[in-house]
Structure 1
Amino acid sequence: MIGSQSLNSLAQNLNPTVKEALIEFSSISTDTRSLKKGDCYIALIGDRFDGNDFLEVAAASGAVAVICSRAVDIKIPSLVVENTQLTLSAIAKENRVRSGATLIALTGSQGKTSVKEMLGLILSRNGKTLTTKANLNNTIGVPLTLIELTGEEKFAVVEMGANAKGEIARSVDVTKPNIALITNANSAHLDGFGSYEGIVQAKGEIIDGLGRDGVAVLNANQKSCDKWVERAGSKTVRLFSYGMRNKSADYQCSLARFNPAGDISFDLFCPQGELSITWPLLGEHNVENALAAAACALESGVSLEHVKEGLMRMRPIPGRLYSNKGINSCTVIDDTYNASPSSFHAAINVLASQGSEETDRTILVVGDMLELGGKAEMFHKRLGAEARSAGITDLWAIGVFADSIVKSFGAGGVSYDQIEDVSAECVKAAQPGVIFLAKGSRGSRMERVVDVLMVTDN
């Protein structure tokens, strides 16, 4: 945190019940297991936990004060509020106001984490940079990220996810970004948004959080782009276009070139100049991610040289099209972090592109895509048909929609009842010239297939 805040100032703004309000704090904790002496403990409430149950533990662990939503008799100062999550956001918002960092906020159905990592590598070449840790991108994770600002940062990159309308609006209100990026809007989390149009509206909430001098960086290849541009109104808009499909875009990129060595080359065309990049990340979608990161970085004032240096340092992220040698010299592409129709499309294209004269089989190991609402059956059938059309030789599926996927794939498709069964079949098939790609939503836990295929150190 930057400086200190007090229970007294929070009490004045929130009008809660307060005991010994003059106490000040300069660090917070929401977990008594990692709480340090001198922290202010905030008792958050979730579906499976209630931080109010650990107030005495916090006091015994050295907390200087607690912020809670249930009155309790403890020996340290306390602030009783109606909603502790909103209080966390208030603390984070004040900390953001105190920071002079140029802050880039980003959202989208896919690509958020990859773009965040790319931006971190680019911007850190030009100054201290704070980036969202792991997947702390929800309405709790965003405030926790902002509280990490120390005042020394030149840049900050904050990832924003959402499962329902209004969540990004709450996150961006706390964040006050200088630059807002929407990578894309695709059919993911339909249960929470109701429709594709609901997703477009929700992602657009990030634009509303920009100040008068803010910059919206938008994907010109998206059919929803015009709606976002209209939403930006008089704010500055910068467009990017992968494959140079939109000639009016400010930032352009060539199509990816797949090299015999297995890496990818591409060219960026920006108002500031041109760049040629060769890197080991798989997939055209990652080239589009690089273009988005470059656009945001250049809009924040960094040089083309730093953009190239940062992108050249980017390496594949485990769980996101992460390629490794497996048992019996097979190849395993781990894309198990999550799944949606659009990310499956990218994964299928990657697997198809790996085929060569030395490749005997390309095996797509599929788990269910979750949170697709009433269109789930349609999307899973489409997945199987797309894999067949792309030339994938085998598709092995598990889950509620396994039979639908396999039926639409046709010959070479097999459905399994248990993850152990498909894993065992993968082990039998593993040999040189065989490439596996495993993917499914988090609830499918497809990483278990990857685990049995990987070489273990003895």
Structure 2
Amino acid sequence: MKRTLAQLAEMCGGTLTDVAAYGDVGIEGVFTDSRKPVPGSLFIPLVGERFDGHEFVQTCVEKGAAGTLWQKDHGTAPQGAVIIVEDTLVALQELASSYLKENKASIVGITGSNGKTTTKDIVDAVLSTTFKVHKTQGNFNNHIGMPLTVLSMEPDTEIVILEMGMSGRGEIEELSVIAQPDVAIITNIGESHLLQLGSRLEIARAKVEIAAGMKPGGLLIYNGDEPLINQVLAEAATKMPEGLQRYTFGLQTDNDDYPTGIMNAQSGVAFTTKQSGEVALTMPLLGTHNVVNCLAALAVARHFGVAAEQIVAGLSHLKLTGMRIEIINGVSGLTMLNDAYNASPTSMKAAVDVLEGLKGYRIKVAVLGDMLELGPQEHELHRGIGEYITPDKMNMVLAYGPLSASIAEGARQNMPAEAVHTFESKEELTRYLLENLHSRDVVLFKASRGMKLEDVVEALKIAPLQNRVD
């Protein structure tokens, strides 16, 4: 983003303290982290419960910031290139909203309980074959991260893809109002945030908030297998734009698009869909759930007129954000499926299904860790994962963490007792894997991010296996 300080003051509804001296000063972006000042950019000092960016304004200016915002209730502003605002966070969001309106790029918003980031990456892969695309990086999907994503967008961007996350009601509506999407995707409704929201219906209401800020006539693409979405869309309290178009995807044949054939392989999946006809699509992702995610991306691509051959090419070169069923080979030859970024009952069952579909391995092992923030039903939901596991899906279950003891409890209903083990430490778990696995085995790692199962994956990547069984 390149603007003058005078332009930025107008965009965010602030007042530049000295227009004559600083109005024409050029700004080449914004930043909020005082530890990483960006010369030539505007510093936005945010205020939180345990921090206040205003304390670091002078330091940032000394290190090259071309200007700063200043919140009115923080007393007398310092001398220099300062824009006075009522609230620095609101000003950041206003800057993002104004920049999007000036830029004229089309906006795709994505939310859902599971699959947001994977779907974002697939949408990016197919759209980038035809358009200049800007997308959310990392976890910049909240009320601070999304505006920063927008403001880092190049001026000639044609489509911006914005992931929208939340922890409670009202948050996605806020993001949608800022972004005003032309197209929005709801990937699914799962159990994440049950602790905060209490029920899947409330989670559905929170996700459907993405429609609140959409442009009139916008396209809402959503998982038609989930009846709660249609239920919420029919509620009188649900906010949506005039002329909202709807498009459904999923496994059921009453959706606008659904898979007509799926073939999983070790390197990815090949599939056809109702809308693609006889054209076979392939992508380097595992699992039926990712085919469903792809259906949403295909709808976006067709909406923007991406040619069929470009869609095929984009999918074949898909690159994913890390730790979403990465296929990793250790030095010993062991195959690992690393899906340790997050977990909910829905995504954990999907990962188990992926493991079940793999062929050609000596044994298949699932290392399953705690799923966090599930609320009062957490033990019941963990036990349900265990009950979902059967000997035809895998050979062994290794449960890590206090909640995952319930996974082991459920798994013992269908699995032999010697095939189910629990662990309280990652060191103990790693040692067991090194002593019992073979180079011809495959291991799935799935847990919430807070369990840090990637530590075990990293250890297995470089350590030799101790099992010499042929």
TM over 0.5: yes
The Cα of 1:54 is off from its aligned counterpart by 1.0
Q: Which amino acid aligns with 2:272?
A: D
8 Å Cα contact 1:384-1:405 kept in structure 2: yes
- CA change 1:57–1:103 in 2 (3 A) is same
Candidates 194, 200, 223, aligned match of 2:198: 194
Candidates 387, 394, 397, aligned match of 1:395: 397
The Cα of 1:362 is off from its aligned counterpart by 1.7
Corresponding residue number in structure 2 for 1:436: 443
Q: Which amino acid aligns with 1:292?
A: A
Corresponding residue number in structure 1 for 2:45: 43
8 Å Cα contact 2:262-2:288 kept in structure 1: yes
Deviations 1:182-222 (A, max 9, x none): 11111102122222111100100111111212111111111
Corresponding residue number in structure 2 for 1:447: 454
Corresponding residue number in structure 2 for 1:19: 17
The Cα of 1:234 is off from its aligned counterpart by 5.0
> Counterparts of 1:327 and 1:264 in 2: how far apart (Å)?
25
The Cα of 1:8 is off from its aligned counterpart by 4.3
Candidates 120, 124, 132, aligned match of 1:120: 124
> Counterparts of 1:38 and 1:235 in 2: how far apart (Å)?
43
The Cα of 1:72 is off from its aligned counterpart by 5.5
Candidates 230, 233, 248, aligned match of 1:240: 248
How many residues align? The count is 448
- CA change 1:5–1:103 in 2 (3 A) is farther
Q: TM-score, normalised by structure 2?
A: 0.89
Corresponding residue number in structure 2 for 1:9: 10
Candidates 50, 60, 65, aligned match of 1:58: 60
Q: Which amino acid aligns with 2:270?
A: S
> Counterparts of 1:257 and 1:287 in 2: how far apart (Å)?
10
8 Å Cα contact 2:138-2:321 kept in structure 1: no
> Counterparts of 2:170 and 2:283 in 1: how far apart (Å)?
37
> Counterparts of 1:316 and 1:28 in 2: how far apart (Å)?
27
| 1:106 aligns to 2:110 (yes or no) | yes
Q: How does 1:49-88 map to 2 (within 5 A)?
A: 49-69=51-71, 70-71=74-75, 74-88=78-92
| 1:256 aligns to 2:257 (yes or no) | no
Q: TM-score, normalised by structure 1?
A: 0.91
- CA change 1:3–1:236 in 2 (3 A) is same
- 3-state secondary structure, aligned to 2:227: coil
Candidates 389, 406, 409, aligned match of 2:408: 406
- CA change 1:273–1:98 in 2 (3 A) is farther
Q: How does 1:328-367 map to 2 (within 5 A)?
A: 328-356=332-360, 359-367=361-369
- 3-state secondary structure, aligned to 1:323: strand
Corresponding residue number in structure 1 for 2:271: 266
> Counterparts of 2:437 and 2:194 in 1: how far apart (Å)?
36
The Cα of 1:393 is off from its aligned counterpart by 1.8
- 3-state secondary structure, aligned to 1:256: strand
Q: Which moved more, 1:378-387 or 1:19-28?
A: 19-28
- CA change 1:384–1:390 in 2 (3 A) is farther
Corresponding residue number in structure 2 for 1:94: 98
Deviations 1:238-267 (A, max 9, x none): 323333x133x33332242124x6532101
Candidates 13, 17, 32, aligned match of 2:34: 32
| 1:158 aligns to 2:165 (yes or no) | no
Q: Which amino acid aligns with 1:302?
A: V
8 Å Cα contact 1:181-1:217 kept in structure 2: yes
The Cα of 1:143 is off from its aligned counterpart by 0.5
Q: Which amino acid aligns with 2:10?
A: S
Candidates 214, 219, 222, aligned match of 1:215: 219
8 Å Cα contact 1:241-1:253 kept in structure 2: no
Q: CA-atom RMSD, angstroms?
A: 2.3
Deviations 1:325-364 (A, max 9, x none): 22432211101111111110111111121244xx332221
> Counterparts of 2:426 and 2:373 in 1: how far apart (Å)?
20
- 3-state secondary structure, aligned to 1:38: coil
Corresponding residue number in structure 1 for 2:468: none
- 3-state secondary structure, aligned to 1:342: helix
> Counterparts of 2:267 and 2:95 in 1: how far apart (Å)?
47
| 1:177 aligns to 2:175 (yes or no) | no
> Counterparts of 1:255 and 1:318 in 2: how far apart (Å)?
28
The Cα of 1:409 is off from its aligned counterpart by 1.2
Candidates 278, 281, 284, aligned match of 1:280: 284
> Counterparts of 1:97 and 1:45 in 2: how far apart (Å)?
26
8 Å Cα contact 1:44-1:52 kept in structure 2: yes
> Counterparts of 2:2 and 2:199 in 1: how far apart (Å)?
41
The Cα of 1:388 is off from its aligned counterpart by 3.1
Structure 2 unpaired stretches of 5+: 465-470
Q: Which moved more, 1:380-389 or 1:109-118?
A: 380-389
- CA change 1:439–1:329 in 2 (3 A) is same
Q: Which amino acid aligns with 1:450?
A: V
- 3-state secondary structure, aligned to 1:158: strand
- 3-state secondary structure, aligned to 1:172: helix
8 Å Cα contact 2:369-2:446 kept in structure 1: yes
> Counterparts of 1:454 and 1:236 in 2: how far apart (Å)?
49
